[in-house]
Homo-oligomer: A and B are copies of this chain.
Amino acid sequence: MKVIVQEQAFDPYKETSAYEREHVPVGKHGAVVTFVGTMRDFNDGHDVTTMYLEHYPNMTERHIEQVCQEALDKWDVDDALVLHRYGEMTIGDPIVLVAVWSAHRAHAFDACRYIINYLKERAPFWKRESTQAGEQRWVEHNTEDPGVNSQGAKQRSA
């Protein structure tokens, strides 16, 4: 299990490949689920151009590690990788990667979803957006309920 919080941009798919090649035994897992969160150009109806992501150093790593450990305790997971950026970012940039390796598809999905949901709920990060109008504002809440696990049909969980 590895948790990295870093300022520099990353390619989530290269990172997943590299981690798997270096750390995950071949032929054991059978199922890999990844979640990548990227920066959108809109939020709550505003046109966003750039974003600054503040964090609480060390507390972020500690709480992401706790969430990963909970997922490893709850499900049959072989390994997990989490990368999360902070600092300045621009539209389309990957913000977070969660990758989970398991022998069981259902466990890989459940664990990956658990990690991103509770990371969003507990890891101390704060988004400050800059809009096209030059305005800066702290994002007050994430647009999706962090605990959401619905199998719901087309309904925006705004």
Contacts and interface: CB of A to CB of B under 8 A. Distances in A.
Interface of A: 11, 13-14, 16-17, 26-42, 74-76, 91-92, 103-106, 108-110, 112-113, 116, 144, 148-154, 156-157
Given A106-B149, A150-B110, A40 B35 contact: no
B35 A156 contact: no
Query: Lowest 9 CB-CB distances: which A-B pairs, in order?
Result: A27-B41, A13-B13, A26-B92, A27-B91, A32-B36, A30-B40, A13-B17, A34-B34, A106-B148
Contact of A39 (B16, B27, B153, B157): B27
A151 B107 CA distance: 8
Contacts of A116: 105
Copies in the complex: 2
Contacts of A34: 32-34, 36
A41 B26 CA distance: 8
Given A13-B17, A105-B35, A74 B153 contact: yes
Contact of A30 (B38, B103, B105, B109): B38
22 contacts: A11-B17, A13-B17, A14-B17, A26-B91, A28-B40, A30-B38, A31-B38, A32-B34, A32-B36, A34-B34, A34-B36, A35-B105, A35-B108, A37-B105, A74-B154, A75-B153, A104-B156, A105-B116, A105-B144, A106-B148, A106-B149, A110-B151
